[in-house]
């Protein structure tokens, strides 16, 4: 077996307790696993910003401008250099299987988050982007969670969020159009929560049409 | 069944169309590209396909037990993966090995561009006015003969500092006169950057292009291309003359995909020229069994013998290195060396150690800098060292080859470390005494016990010096 990220061979440790069990399928080597670094306390209860006690400034600002739009966001990993590199390879180079190294951790976090049973909605991509990338990263994550999702949205093509500055993103036009309203509580799934702009664009549309509560689940914060 | 196994085991390029109609698209000729790498409208591409100037080929060969990516030749199962492909609606296999150069997916074809573009004939392309030594002359003659006959291979086994580039000039001239396309490939970006201005000066009227990871030129539409071996992944049956410099260097010697790509990039009737100072075991075996014709250049262009390394035993070496310090004996030697006008190149086995020792020497008031592979300012620091702006350069094996400093002494700290294999040590020793003004230089290997690699390196240097005396 090889590590998905660094391609070195994984040699499983054999002890008396593992000797009797069927071998586990490891996806990443110990060195890469150590670098994953899950978000742990303290974090902002609103958006999961790591290393922050209490509600963070950004969330307080959002609360002023977009009152009661987003319930809360749950994230799994801090978006640090290691994860940036993985995301670059996964999303922009298109190495689809790389996301599997997160599988175990995000499944655990998903069960602990209390989102199970809610209506899952993935963030759609524009037609041009999906042609270029070949897959939708949010759907890939939902696949890992073993959930089914719907997308009542359509998205117009625009510049990648990652290529924009913060100010530019905050005043960006809403690229989504809602096609179908829903009356159940929903959870939006995406890969990265940076400023929270994308998620709130969608949440605002859902709220306007009578959705009782909107939360979000993202891998990185 | 037998046929499929054979096809899998051999490098088979019969899928590249053998008919190459002439056309007027230099940027497509002899290329193997993904659709998004071709900057043309769909209609024009369809038109070119109808004329067989472009040919769609399957991108990933599928066998009952494995796959092979036709761009990089990868067959390792863990380097392939499947994904639900939104573009075609099915689960598709893609190659993870060459994904850095854009993803190759099984359902999307690769486009082969006919190599029928006609390159201009150059009457007198070479403006170089230097003289060749006897040894160089002999090698140059043999290479010209090879270029004339076409199909064939030749290894040039030349010591470090023999003037390998100059040997090529006559065969390059020969090829350019006949409108042949040439590629000079090397595993190292630094070498490509260094070669481009030298060759442009010698061949001022020829369109020469340098291709590497972040090169300003990306088109690859010149008759003379200098490229890193990775860039050959985008070529197929493109070159009449293929020169591979430093065939034994990392990453070329242990990366099967680069061998695959360089073989594919040459035309079936191409002349292949390999240059090296330190052939690997595999090549030596082929030389011994007379399978690979070889020509020796055992003497440097200035005619002086290669400096022979001195091996110095320093038993407490590791204890001091762990404390990020140098053995007092080495320190004393450095102090002594710094009294002379020569600069000092200090080789260490790892990036961390190189940085620590540079810091340690800085505290002792030496003018020191360190370089390693991930160093952004590498090119600048090397340039400054060449201009003698500082005295000591601490480095990892990254500087073992391809760089020339006129007058240096070379010390290797912990020469028994695994990163210093025979080839590396010979190359490192070859950094000293490069200039005719100062043909000598001290090469010292500090070790905690002689290794086979060290002894082989010393033997190999002695062997070349002996050959040089004889001739």
Instruction: Please tell me the predicted confidence (pLDDT) of residue A100.
Output: 92
Q: Which member of B79, B100, B105 has the closest CB to residue A93?
A: B100
A131 touches chain B (CB under 8 A): yes
List chain A residues with pLDDT less than 50.
none
* pTM for this prediction: 0.85
The SS3 assignment for B386 reads: helix
Before B225, cis peptide (omega within 30)? no
pLDDT in tens, B165-179: 889 999 999 999 999
Q: Residue A31's CB: how many other CB atoms inside 10 A? A: 11
3-state secondary structure at position A146: coil
CA of A8 to nearest chain B CA: how many angstroms apart? 11
**Which run of H or of E encompasses B344?**
strand B343-347
**pLDDT > 70? residue B16:** yes
Percent of chain B clearing pLDDT 90 (strictly above)? 68
- Read off the pLDDT band of B471 (50, 70, 90): low
CA gap B69, B90 in Å, rounded: 19
First to last CA, chain A: 30
Q: What are the DSSP E strand ranges found in B187-238?
A: 208-211, 224-228
Closest CA to B273 of B397, B146, B388: B146
Token pair for residue B247? 């065939």
Residue predicted with more confidence, A166 or B230: B230
The span from the CA of A6 to the CA of A209, in Å, is: 46
Q: Which two tokens stand for residue B230?
A: 């990775």
Give the per-residue pLDDT at A26: 82
B402-449 pLDDT, tens digit per residue, is 778 889 999 999 999 999 999 999 999 999 998 888 888 999 999 999
d(CA B137, CA B133): 6
A133 contact residues in B (CB cutoff 8 A): 86
Chain B residues with at least one Cβ partner in A under 8 Å: 78-79, 81-87, 94, 96, 99-100, 103, 105
Q: Does the pLDDT at position B105 exceed 70?
A: yes
What is the end-to-end Cα distance of chain B in Å, rounded? 54
Cα–Cα distance for residue pair B396/B373, rounded to 1 Å: 8
Mutation target vs A (from B42, B87, B90, B97; most A CBs, 10 A cutoff): B87
pLDDT at B82: 94
CA distance B387 to B406: 10
The pLDDT of residue B165:
86
Contacts of A144 (CB under 8 A, 6+ apart): A99, A100, A102, A103, A106, A107
The SS3 call for residue B54 is strand
Instruction: Using an 8 Å CB-CB cutoff, list chain A residues near B103.
Output: 93-95, 134
């Amino acid at each position: 077996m090889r590590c998905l990220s660094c391609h070195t061979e994984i040699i499983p440790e054999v002890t008396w307790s593992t000797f009797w069990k069927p071998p586990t399928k490891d996806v990443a080597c110990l060195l890469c696993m150590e670098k994953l670094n899950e978000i742990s306390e303290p974090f902002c209860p609103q958006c999961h910003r790591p290393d922050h006690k209490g509600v963070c400034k950004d969330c307080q600002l959002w609360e002023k401008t977009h009152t009661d739009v987003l319930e809360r966001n749950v994230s799994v990993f801090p978006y640090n250099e290691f994860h940036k590199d993985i995301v670059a390879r996964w999303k922009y180079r298109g190495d689809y299987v790389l996301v599997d190294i997160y599988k175990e951790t995000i499944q655990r976090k998903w069960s602990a988050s209390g989102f199970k049973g809610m209506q899952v909605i993935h963030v759609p991509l524009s037609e041009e982007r999906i042609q270029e990338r070949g897959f939708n990263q949010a759907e890939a994550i939902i696949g890992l969670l073993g959930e089914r999702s719907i997308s009542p949205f359509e998205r117009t093509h625009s510049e990648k969020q990652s290529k924009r500055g913060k100010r530019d993103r905050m005043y960006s036009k809403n690229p989504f159009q809602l096609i179908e309203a829903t009356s159940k509580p929903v959870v939006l799934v995406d890969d990265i929560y940076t400023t929270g702009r994308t998620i709130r664009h969608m949440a605002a549309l859902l709220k306007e049409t009578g959705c009782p509560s909107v939360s979000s689940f993202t891998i990185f914060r | 069944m037998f046929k499929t196994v054979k096809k899998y085991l051999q490098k088979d390029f019969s899928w590249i169309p053998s008919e190459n109609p002439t056309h007027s698209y230099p940027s497509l000729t002899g290329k193997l590209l993904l659709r998004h790498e071709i900057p043309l409208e769909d209609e024009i591409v369809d038109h070119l396909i109808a004329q067989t100037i472009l040919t769609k080929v399957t991108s990933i060969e599928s066998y009952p037990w494995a796959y092979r990516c036709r761009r990089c030749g990868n067959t390792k199962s863990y380097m392939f993966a499947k994904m639900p492909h939104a573009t075609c609606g099915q689960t598709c296999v893609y190659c993870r090995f060459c994904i850095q150069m854009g993803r190759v997916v099984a359902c999307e074809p690769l486009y082969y561009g006919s190599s029928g573009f006609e390159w201009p004939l150059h009457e007198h392309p070479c403006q170089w006015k230097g003289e060749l030594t006897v040894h160089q002359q002999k090698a140059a003659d043999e290479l010209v003969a090879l270029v004339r006959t076409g199909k064939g291979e030749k290894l040039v086994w030349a010591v470090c500092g023999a003037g390998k580039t100059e040997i090529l000039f006559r065969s390059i001239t020969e090829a350019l006169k006949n409108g042949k396309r040439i590629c000079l490939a090397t595993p190292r970006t630094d070498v490509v950057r260094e070669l481009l201005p030298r060759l442009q000066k010698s061949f001022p009227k020829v369109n020469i292009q340098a291709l590497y990871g972040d090169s300003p030129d990306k088109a690859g539409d010149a008759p003379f291309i200098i490229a890193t071996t990775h860039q050959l992944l985008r070529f197929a049956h493109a070159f009449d003359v293929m020169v591979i410099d430093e065939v034994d260097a990392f990453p070329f010697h242990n990366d099967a995909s680069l061998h695959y790509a360089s073989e594919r990039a040459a035309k079936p009737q191409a002349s292949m020229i390999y240059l090296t100072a330190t052939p690997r075991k595999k090549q030596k075996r082929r030389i011994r069994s007379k399978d690979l014709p070889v020509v020796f250049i055992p003497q440097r262009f200035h005619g002086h013998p290669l400096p022979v390394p001195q091996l110095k035993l320093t038993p407490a070496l590791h204890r001091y290195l762990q404390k990020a310090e140098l053995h007092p004996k080495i320190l004393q030697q450095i102090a002594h060396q710094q009294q002379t006008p020569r600069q000092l190149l200090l080789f260490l086995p790892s990036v961390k150690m190189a940085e620590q020792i540079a810091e340690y020497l800085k505290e002792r008031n030496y003018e020191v800098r360190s370089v390693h592979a991930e160093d952004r300012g590498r090119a600048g620091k090397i340039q400054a060292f060449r201009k003698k702006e500082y005295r000591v350069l601490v480095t990892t094996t990254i500087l073992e080859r391809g760089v020339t400093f006129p007058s240096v002494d070379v010390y290797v700290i912990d020469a028994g470390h695994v990163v210093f294999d025979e080839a590396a040590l010979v190359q490192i020793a070859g950094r000293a005494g490069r200039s005719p003004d100062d043909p000598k230089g001290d090469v010292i290997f500090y070790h905690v016990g002689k290794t086979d690699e060290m002894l082989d390196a010393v033997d190999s240097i002695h062997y070349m010096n002996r050959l040089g005396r004889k001739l």
